[in-house]
Structure 1
Amino acid sequence: MNLLHIDSSALGAHSVSRELGRAIVDAWKRAHPGATVTYRDVAAHPLPHWTPVADAADPAARLGGEVLDEFLAADVVVIGAPMYNFSVPSTLKTWIDRVAVAGKTFRYGANGPEGLAGDKQLIIVSSRGGFYSAGTPGAAADFQEAYLRQVFGFLGVTDIEIIRAEGVNISAEQKAQAIAAAHAAIGANERVAA
């Protein structure tokens, strides 16, 4: 079993998504001793933006190939995805641009697009300063989780789970409650530790 862990928060040690992502990966490692974990921090080590490159020897093309290979080899992908300005960090979007590759993770056919990367479990660690879940006044502004579901669904990944800490910038008390609830969800999640 291979797990790919992506972090994208620029907040370093103060990041809620990083804390929760580590908790998920730690639980998964305990349940799968000897499994391979690959870690990529796209905030600390941003990828170059995608551009059409004809030369496979180009360093950006090689790095893009490495990122794509990591994604394709993963059975489980854990993505720390904080909400930045109603969407995902630009560094995460750049990583997605490197794994959404025609002919590799999706293709167009006579019946429209077909995802080719559907044999994965995706766990999204979502952290949000406010409240944007369904049923809240801010729900229409959720271009974070909705985008991630759409893009990975397009790639064929339908086994998507979201662990969420919401309202973390409302107050210290709300932040503590949101983090505790997310940790409880991780601990109660049989699929994380299965």
Structure 2
Amino acid sequence: MSTHILRIDASARREGSISRRLSDRIVAHLAPETVTHRDLAQPLPLIDEAWIGANFTPEVDRTDAQRKALSLSDALIDEVRAADTLVIGLPIYNFGVPAGFKAWIDLVARAGVTFRYTEAGPEGLLTGKRAVIAVTSGGTETGSEIDFATGYVRHMLSFIGITDVEMVSADRLALDAEGTLANAEAQVDRLAA
């Protein structure tokens, strides 16, 4: 049961977005006690040289400027830590994830914080969470050889420890918007609450 959802909307569109519409339905279906909303239509900064320098400086040696450079990343990670379920509205743009979502991943995937390297390979540190992804596309079929979004999202979530990932797919909306949306809404209704 979801008690705290982190809802992430990756669509650049605030009005008329199918991924937002599906995310609304998922959140209502899961009926959490708390929802934290991260809207990536409000752009996140891209990582830069100062951020990378701060990230790779041991915490005890960081300057105030380096701590400030990592403060948004720390806040985004805290949002994930606080949630037991992530609901991600994810349109496919040009066969991949929107740039805003990639920026979110870059700020959240941090060695020693959300994953670590072991002798057995990388280990995600944000375990015990569930993710439900509302994937939408105009023409890209999810899971097809031209879908570079869903595999990436599954991999990155698993990389940071979130392995319980479910996809609600409203793909190829340009071909049959009404039927595709009805199918996706039925998928939401079948989700375990």
Question: TM-score, length-normalised on structure 2?
Answer: 0.87
Contact 1:48 1:60 in 2 (8 A): no
Which of residues 1, 16, 19 is equivalent to 1:17? 19
Report whether the alignment pairs 1:99 with 2:97: no
2:34 aligned partner: 36
Distance 1:56 1:108 in 2: 27
2:133 aligned partner: 124
Contact 1:56 1:62 in 2 (8 A): no
Report whether the alignment pairs 1:71 with 2:69: no
Which of residues 69, 81, 89 is equivalent to 2:98? 89
- CA gap of 1:60–1:47, structure 2 versus 1, over 3 A, is farther
Distance 1:100 1:68 in 2: 9
Deviation, structure 1 residue 105: 1.3
Aligned residues: 179
Deviation, structure 1 residue 188: 2.2
Deviation, structure 1 residue 55: 4.1
Q: Which runs of 5+ in 2 are unaligned?
A: 55-61
Coordinate RMSD, CA, aligned: 1.5
Report whether the alignment pairs 1:182 with 2:184: yes
Deviation, structure 1 residue 75: 0.3
Q: Which amino acid aligns with 1:163?
A: V
Deviation, structure 1 residue 56: 4.8
**Deviations 1:139-167 (Å, cap 9, x if unpaired)?**
11111001001111111211000000011
Report whether the alignment pairs 1:164 with 2:190: no
Deviation, structure 1 residue 59: 4.8
Deviation, structure 1 residue 168: 1.0
Deviation, structure 1 residue 131: 3.9
Q: Which amino acid aligns with 2:114?
A: T
Distance 1:56 1:80 in 2: 35
Contact 1:149 1:160 in 2 (8 A): yes
**Deviations 1:78-118 (Å, cap 9, x if unpaired)?**
01111001100000011111111111211001111111112
Q: Which runs of 5+ in 1 are unaligned?
A: none
Contact 1:9 1:15 in 2 (8 A): yes
Distance 2:26 2:181 in 1: 13
Question: TM-score, length-normalised on structure 1?
Answer: 0.86
Aligned sequence identity (%):
40
For the residue of structure 1 that corresponds to 2:145, the secondary structure is: helix
Distance 2:107 2:129 in 1: 17
Which of residues 29, 32, 35 is equivalent to 1:27? 29
Distance 2:11 2:63 in 1: 31
Q: Which amino acid aligns with 2:136?
A: S
Q: Which amino acid aligns with 1:42?
A: L
Distance 1:14 1:22 in 2: 12
